[in-house]
Amino acid sequence: MATGVDQAVGMSLVVFSLLLFTYYSVWVIILPFVDSDHILHKYFLPREYSVILPGIAAVILLLCIGAFIAVIMWKNRKPKKVD
């Protein structure tokens, strides 16, 4: 059973993910249809970043996955037999 701290951390991660998803969805889907002089635009970055930031996040994620696989393979390698 999860402790109270584990549940709080898990709930905070879920809430953060929902907020990030909502922010990004509004930024990418709704904001292009709003007038450029509307006050809503001051809460969001320029549209170019809607492609750049997820691209950078994807590259970092792939690098972390590659590093993790490299470390696991390095630890599990078998020493060569010398005959």
SS (H, E, C) 66-79: HHHHHHHHHHCCCC
40 and 31 Cβ atoms separated by less than 8 Å = yes
Q: Kindly indicate the confidence band of residue 11, based on its pLDDT and cuts at 50, 70 and 90.
A: very high
Task: State the DSSP code for 37.
Answer: T
Kindly state the tokens that stand for 31: 């904001």
The mean-pLDDT minimum among 35-39, 41-45, 61-65, 77-81 falls in 77-81
Closest CA to 45 of 24, 29, 59: 24
- What pLDDT digit, counting tens, does each position of 39-48 carry? 988 999 998 9
